[in-house]
C-alpha cells in the first residue's frame, strides 16, 4: 500500500473506517475536532453514520445504544469531554458492550489548556468511572502506531466485549507522518454478535442488555464474570516495546508521545557512551509489569518520564518494587519536554548517584 501523510487524528479516523466502523458520535473539543470533522466527511462516503451530539454525555449513551445493536462504533474526545463520558463508560463496561473511545489528552486538571499532556493516565487505567471495571488502554507513540492500534482496539473490543480506549495526546493528534493504511475490512467478516445483540426478538427469546441487577448475589456474579475476563486480557494482551535495553544500565520508562521523545534521549546518551535504553508500554492496561520487572536483573536505574505528576510512575514502582531505584522527571500543564531537557535531568540524576 502507498504511504500517505496524515494528521494523527485523521489517521485514527481512517483506520477506524477501514476496521469496519460505520458509526461515529462526537462533540467538538480541541485538540481533536479534526477527527469528528474527518468522520463527518468520510463516513457518508462509505454508507456510515456521523452524528454531532449535544454533549459528551449524550455521545457516550449513543455509543451505548449503537453498541447494543452489535455494530462497530466509535467516539473521540479530549480530557474534559472524557470525564463527562465516565458514567456511560462504566455502564458499557458492565453491560459488556464493545466500542472504541479516543481520548486526545490535553493539559488539566479542570479546564486546563489545549496542549498535549498525559494527566488522564489514572482515569484511563485505574477506573475513572464508578465501580469495578477496566478498559483496555492502548497508547500509541507514532501516527502509524495510532493506525495499527485503532484497528486492534476494535478487534479487542469485539473479542472481549469491552470498551477500549486509545490514549493519545494533542501532539500525536496534531502531527503528520507518513502512514500505510490497512485494507478495508469486509464487513461480512466482522465478529458475529447475534447471540447477544439487540436486533429484534424474532423467533428467539428477548436479548436483554443491562449493567444492572437488584439482587446483589447476581450482581456479584456479573462482577466475577468481568474479573475473569480481565484476567484473560491480562494474560493475552500485554504489549510493550523495548529499545536498546539489551545492554542498558539505565532504562527510561515512558508511554505515548513522551516515549518517542525519550528515544532521542537514548540516542543522545549512547553518543556520550552512557548505556541507556527505553521501556515503552503499548498497553497501559493491561500493564506490562512482568517484562519491566525482568529488566531489574541487569538495570541499575530506572528513569520514568511523563507529562503528569507521576501517574504511570505508580505502575513502574509496582513492577520494580524495591529492587532498583526509580527516578522521575516530568512536565505538566501541556508543556512538552524536549530531548535536551530530559537528558540534562537524566545526567543530573546519574551525577547524584555516582
Partner 1 sequence: MRFIFAGFGGQGVMLMGQILAYAGMIEGKNVTWMPSYGPEMRGGTANCTVVVSDGPVASPVVDKAEVVVAMNIPSMIKFQDFLTENGFFFLNKSVIDREPDRKDGIKIYKLECNEIADKLGNLKVANMVMLGAVIGATKIVSKESVFKALEKKLTGKKAELIEINKLAIEEGMKKVSEQ
Partner 2 sequence: MRKLLYKMPESLSGKEFTYCPGCHHGIVHRLVAEVIDELGIREKTLVVAPIGCSVFAYQFFNMDGTIAAHGRAPAVATGMKRARPDLYVFTYQGDGDLAAIGTAEIMHAANRGEKITTIFINNAIYGMTGGQMAPTTLLGMKTTTTPYGRDAQKDGYPMHMCEFLKEAKGVAYLARTKVTTPQDVEKTKKAIKKAFLAQIKGIGFGMVEVLSTCPTNWGMDPISAMKWLEEKMVPEYPLGIFVDKVGDEK
Shortest gap between Cβ of 105 and partner 1 (angstroms)? 14
Residue 335 gets which letter from DSSP?
Answer: P
Q: Give the count of residues interacting with partner 2 (CB under 8 A).
A: 38
Query: In whole angstroms, how close is the CB of 19 to partner 2 at the nearest point?
Result: 16
Asked if residue 66 binds partner 2 (CB under 8 A), the reply is yes
From 26-34, 111-119, 208-216, 339-347, give the range in contact with partner 2 by CB under 8 A. 208-216
Rounded to 10 degrees, the C-alpha dihedral 16/150/121/136 comes to 110
Please, what is the minimum distance in Å from the beta carbon of residue 286 to partner 2?
Answer: 27
Q: Kindly tell me which of 238 and 268 has the beta carbon lying closer to partner 1.
A: 268
Q: Which three cell numbers stand for residue 125?
A: 487505567
Min. distance of Cβ 54 from partner 2 in angstroms?
4
Candidate list 126, 212, 221, 340; residue touching partner 2; CB under 8 A: 212
C-alpha 240/C-alpha 285 separation (Å) is: 11
Q: Footprint of partner 1 on this chain (CB under 8 A)?
A: 3, 5, 30-31, 113-115, 170-171, 174-178, 257, 260-267, 336-341
Report d(CA 200, CA 212) in Å as an integer. 21
| Of 257, 102, 263, 282, the residue nearest 172 (C-alpha) | 257
How is the beta sheet containing 136-138 ordered, strand by strand?
Answer: 49-52, 23-26, 73-77, 99-105, 163-169, 136-138, 283-285
- Say which entry of partner 1, partner 2, none residue 338 contacts (CB below 5 to 8 A, set by partner kind): partner 1
**Closer residue to partner 1 in complex, CB, 61/115:** 115
SS3 assignment, position 126: coil
Question: Smaller CB distance to partner 2: residue 184 or 212?
Answer: 212
Q: Look up residue 205 and give its three cell numbers.
A: 427469546
Binding mask 24-63 for partner 2 (x = CB under 8 A): -x-----------------------x-x-xxx-xxx-xxx
Please state the separation of Cα 104 from the chain's center in Å: 9
Amino acid at each position: 500500500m502507498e504511504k500517505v501523510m496524515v494528521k494523527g487524528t485523521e489517521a485514527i479516523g481512517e483506520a477506524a473506517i477501514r476496521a469496519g466502523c460505520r458509526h461515529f458520535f462526537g462533540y467538538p473539543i480541541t485538540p481533536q475536532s479534526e477527527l469528528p470533522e474527518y468522520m463527518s466527511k468520510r463516513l457518508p462516503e462509505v454508507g456510515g453514520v456521523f452524528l454531532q451530539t449535544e454533549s459528551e454525555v449524550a455521545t457516550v449513551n449513543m455509543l451505548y445504544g449503537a453498541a447494543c445493536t452489535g455494530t462497530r462504533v466509535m467516539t473521540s474526545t479530549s480530557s474534559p469531554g472524557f470525564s463527562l463520558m465516565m458514567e456511560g463508560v462504566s455502564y458499557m463496561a458492565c453491560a459488556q458492550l464493545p466500542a472504541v473511545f479516543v481520548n486526545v489528552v490535553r493539559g488539566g486538571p479542570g479546564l486546563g489548556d489545549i496542549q498535549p499532556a498525559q494527566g488522564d493516565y489514572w482515569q484511563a487505567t485505574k477506573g475513572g468511572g464508578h465501580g469495578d471495571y477496566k478498559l483496555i488502554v492502548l497508547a500509541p507513540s507514532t501516527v502509524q502506531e495510532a493506525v495499527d492500534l485503532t484497528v486492534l482496539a476494535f478487534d479487542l473490543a469485539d473479542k472481549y466485549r469491552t470498551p477500549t480506549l486509545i490514549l493519545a495526546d494533542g501532539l500525536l493528534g496534531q502531527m503528520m507522518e507518513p502512514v500505510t493504511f490497512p485494507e478495508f475490512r469486509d464487513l461480512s467478516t466482522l465478529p458475529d454478535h447475534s447471540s447477544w445483540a439487540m436486533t429484534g426478538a424474532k423467533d428467539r427469546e428477548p436479548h436483554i442488555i443491562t449493567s444492572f441487577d437488584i439482587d446483589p448475589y447476581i450482581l456479584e456474579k456479573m462482577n466475577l464474570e468481568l474479573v475473569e475476563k480481565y484476567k484473560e486480557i491480562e494474560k493475552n494482551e500485554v504489549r510493550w516495546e523495548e529499545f536498546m535495553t539489551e545492554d542498558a544500565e539505565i532504562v527510561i520508562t515512558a508511554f505515548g508521545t513522551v516515549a518517542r521523545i525519550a528515544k532521542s534521549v537514548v540516542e543522545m546518551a549512547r553518543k556520550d557512551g552512557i548505556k541507556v535504553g527505553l521501556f515503552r508500554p503499548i498497553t497501559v492496561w493491561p500493564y506490562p509489569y512482568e517484562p519491566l520487572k525482568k529488566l531489574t536483573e541487569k538495570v541499575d536505574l530506572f528513569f520514568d518520564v511523563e507529562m503528569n505528576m507521576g501517574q504511570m510512575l505508580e505502575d513502574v514502582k509496582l513492577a520494580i518494587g524495591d529492587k532498583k531505584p526509580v527516578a522521575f522527571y516530568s512536565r505538566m500543564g501541556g508543556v512538552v519536554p524536549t530531548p535536551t531537557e530530559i537528558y540534562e535531568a537524566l545526567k543530573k540524576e546519574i551525577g547524584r548517584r555516582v
